[in-house]
Amino acid sequence: MLEDELKKTFEQLNIEPRPSTFNAVDIVFRGTAVKRRRRTYAVAATGTGTAVVAVVIAFALNQPPKQGDHSPAGPPGPDVSTSSPMRPSRTTSPEQPTSLPVETPAMTTTNTTSPIPTTTTNSVDPGPQNSTTATDLPRTTTSPSR
Amino acid sequence: MSWDAEFSHYFDRCADSMRFTAFLLCGNHHEAEDVVQSAFLKFYLAGPKLAQREGVPAYLRQIVVRTFLAERRRVRWKREKLTDTLPDLPEAGVLSEDRLVVWQALDAVPAKQRATLVLRYWHDLGVEETAAALGCSVGTVKSNTNRGLKALRQRLGPEFGALWQEVSRGA
């Protein structure tokens, strides 16, 4: 049988074993070096991974808000004020007591209306045809001349 | 006992057997030395927890066989070019002429089938043990054994069978 021939061939080959080219000390030396290299790679990979995660999180947090965000606005805070049209005010605000010029008491002319023309619409019941529009022009009241 | 000392103990006990197994698998001493060295390095790195279990020689043999198969799978990616001429043959007188023919014919057998033949006919392992060592099913071991022997017969040719029958009849 071929199987028996194979066994005998293997047995004959085993008669003269060759001397080994390495011993246990060589394996231990190589194993120690491999362990040290693996530890170095593990430390380097962990540090690199941590840095990458930190950079990704920093980028994610610094993203500007999206333009298409249609979520309802919240109530304004106490510091937020709505803007009004440019309207010169003669009254002095308590925050800026020194910024506006102080009017002299000798002046007799006072403006009681704002310089911007105001429009008032008086609508009468029967229909829109009879509606009249009156425009109040700025009037200046002066003291009677002498 | 430290792991290094324990490893040296196992090495002294099993190195010769593993080296010869690797020689039967690889067909030449140089590759066998590389395979055994890699196998013992894997065993050393596996640590003492694996060495405490039963059957360290069987475990080492399994590492050797699987390292050999992994090397053969990796051979196409290696820069080294293998030729079909054997770099070294058994010394004259070690093998008779007919067994030298059998030994050379083993090169025609694929790696996994060769490993199966070595485990079954050199280590006298059963089908289940061979399957456990190779990490395959029992049916695969049986088919690999059958195909390996068939490849060996094809390589030896019909004349070798007739010659072998004559020799066995004369003996």
The tens digit of pLDDT for each residue in A90-136 reads 555 555 555 455 555 554 444 555 455 545 444 444 444 444 444 55
Between A46-50, A114-118, B8-12, B103-107, the lowest mean confidence (pLDDT) is in A114-118
CA distance B26 to B29: 8
- Measure CB to CB from residue B44 to each of A16, A18, A31 and give the nearest one: A31
Confidence bin at B166 (pLDDT 50/70/90)? low
A5, A18, A30 ranked by CB distance to B164: nearest: A5
What pLDDT, on the 0 to 100 scale, is given for residue A75?
79
Paired strand residues for A141 = A110
Which of B37, B90, B91 minimises the CB distance to A27? B37
**How many domains, in total, are found in chain A?**
1
- Pick from A31, A35, A25: nearest CA to B11: A25
Q: Is A121 inside a domain boundary?
A: no
Q: Which of B33, B41, B90 sits opposite A13 (nearest CB)?
A: B90
For chain B, give every domain's residue range. 1-88, 95-171
Domain boundaries, position A54: 23-61
Contacts of A34 in chain B (CB under 8 A): 41, 45
User: What's the token pair of residue B70?
Assistant: 């992994």
% residues pLDDT > 90 (chain A): 26
Is residue A38 in some structural domain?
yes
Average pLDDT over residues B36-46: 93
Does A16 sit within 8 Å of B91, measured CB to CB?
A: yes
CB contact under 8 A, A2 and B118: no
Per-residue pLDDT band at B80 (split at 50, 70, 90): low
Chain-wide mean pLDDT for chain A?
70
Q: Is the pLDDT of residue B42 over 90?
A: yes
| Residue A28 counted as domain residue | yes
Q: In this complex, is the C-beta atom of B162 within 8 Å of any C-beta atom belonging to chain A? A: no
pLDDT at A48: 97
pLDDT at B156 over 80: yes
* pLDDT for position B163: 62
Contact B35, B41 (CB under 8 A): no
Question: Which of A7, A18, A26, A30 would you mutate first to test chain B, the one with the most B CBs within 10 A?
Answer: A18
Fold of the domain spanning B95-171: Arc Repressor Mutant, subunit A (1.10.10)
In a domain, A98, yes or no: no
pLDDT of A46 higher than 50: yes
State chain B's mean pLDDT as an integer.
83
pLDDT at residue B64 above 60? yes
Tell me if A40 is assigned to some domain.
yes
Q: Which of A59-73, B87-101, B151-165 has the lowest mean pLDDT?
A: B87-101
Per the domain annotation, does A9 fall within a domain?
no
At A53, the amino acid letter reads V
In this prediction, residue A47 has a pLDDT band, given cuts at 50, 70 and 90, of very high
The answer as to CATH 1.10.10 being correct for domain B1-88 is no
Please indicate if any CB of chain A lies within 8 Å of the CB of B107.
no
Residues of A in contact with B19 (CB under 8 A): 17-18, 20
Element (H, E) at B4: helix B3-26
Domain B1-88 and domain B95-171 have a common topology: no
CB pair distance less than 8 Å for B102 and A35? no
pLDDT higher at B22 or B156: B22
- Do A9 and B95 lie within an 8 Å CB cutoff? yes
